[in-house]
Structure 1
Amino acid sequence: MRELPTTKKEHIIFGLMMCMGMVVVMMFFNLWHSGLLGKMSSLEILFQFVLCFIIAFLVESFIVGPVARKIAFSLPFDKSNKILGVLAMSFFMVMGMVLMMSIYGMISASLAHQPSSASVWSTYLHTIARNFSLALPYQLIILGPLVRYVFGRFIKGKGSVVPST
């Protein structure tokens, strides 16, 4: 397993990488699911991406990240086992971000005039289930390992990018 961030700067870079990967996939998934993907211009999609990315990064950095870290590392498991630490942290990060960003998604859909006949609570629960069913496997199987690899190779191991002669 590649190295994880240890400094404040590394945490910010790692968070930006993780946030970028999650926002791209989850935003397009939700735009597609709500039928807005084919109806929005490239400029509207870019605006949505930038806005969603900023909100997601702030929520992750100041709310979900600290809470998830506190919960994950308060669990009774061997803290020297990096895999268990990554799994616990990933689960609580995804759970927190899905809970928070599903609210953002519902507000965005409402502003885009995508009314729902269901109650707000019912729509929220459905949105959480739908988003969690994609976000957790995507985080655990694809994005998490990819970001940890890229981070470990190009950020932590800066000197190992250029092969020695």
Structure 2
Amino acid sequence: MPTNQKESLIFGFIMCFGMVAVMSAYNLLLIGDLKHLTLQNVLTEVGIGFIIALLLDLHVVGPLAKKITHRLPFDKSNKLLFVLCMSTSMILGMVFFMSIFGLVMSYLGNGLDGQGLLIVYGVIFVKNFILAFPLQLLVMGPIVRFIFKHFIQRKKCETV
């Protein structure tokens, strides 16, 4: 896990890129508009989504998730439980905010089809959570922690 601001930035960068890439493709597939599933549209959505996600991760959701995790009544020395609590807090926060991004992108692309704003947001939130939770806990989280531990922190140890 990151031990300083530089490591937090690198960790967040890798995590956000992976999550945004998968979630953007997922959301484009969900709206069923395959003609918009072009390289340019995917790159645009991933680029904008990545910038927003990274800013949220570093300045809003990340710090809030850390505060929440540290205030929860459990043994913080249990690394697995700590990572699960931190990841769950991050997932809930990021899905909350990135679903707003998805709502805006959906509205700009297709409109709301006469449905209420809160209903559409709720549907987007649930669909995003259904993929984001297992994706982060079972796929991206372990992959990013592996990359971080074996390539980023290892380089730091070798240069010291």
Common topology (TM > 0.5) = yes
1:81/1:42 CA distance change after superposition, 3 Å: same
- Contact map agreement 2:24 2:42 (CA 8 A) in 1: no
The structural deviation recorded for 1:35 is 1.9
1:93-114 CA distance string (max 9 Å, x none)? 0000000000000101111134
Residue 70 of structure 2 aligns with which residue?
73
1:153, 1:32 → 2: CA distance? 34
Residue 143 of structure 1 aligns with which residue?
140
**Please, which of 81, 84, 87 is the counterpart of residue 87 of structure 1?**
84
**Please, which of 115, 120, 130 is the counterpart of residue 117 of structure 2?**
120
What is the TM-score normalised by the length of structure 2?
Answer: 0.93
List structure 1 runs of 4+ shifted beyond 4 angstroms.
none
**Please, which of 18, 40, 57 is the counterpart of residue 60 of structure 1?**
57
Residue 27 of structure 2 aligns with which residue?
30
Deviates more, 1:79-88 or 1:106-115: 106-115
What is the TM-score normalised by the length of structure 1?
Answer: 0.90
More helix by share: 2
The alignment's C-alpha RMSD in Å is 1.6
Question: Kindly, what percent of the aligned residue pairs are identical?
Answer: 43
**Please, which of 12, 16, 19 is the counterpart of residue 19 of structure 1?**
16
2:150, 2:35 → 1: CA distance? 37
2:25, 2:110 → 1: CA distance? 18
The structural deviation recorded for 1:39 is 2.3
Residue 152 of structure 1 aligns with which residue?
149
1:5/1:37 CA distance change after superposition, 3 Å: farther
Higher-RCO chain (CA-CA 8 Å, sequence separation at least 6): 1
Could you tell me which amino acid in structure 2 is paired with residue 146 of structure 1? I
Gap regions ≥5 residues in structure 1: none
1:57, 1:94 → 2: CA distance? 13
Gap regions ≥5 residues in structure 2: none
Could you tell me which amino acid in structure 1 is paired with residue 154 of structure 2? G
2:34, 2:128 → 1: CA distance? 17
Query: SS at the partner of 2:58?
Result: helix
1:100, 1:53 → 2: CA distance? 13
Deviates more, 1:127-136 or 1:107-116: 107-116
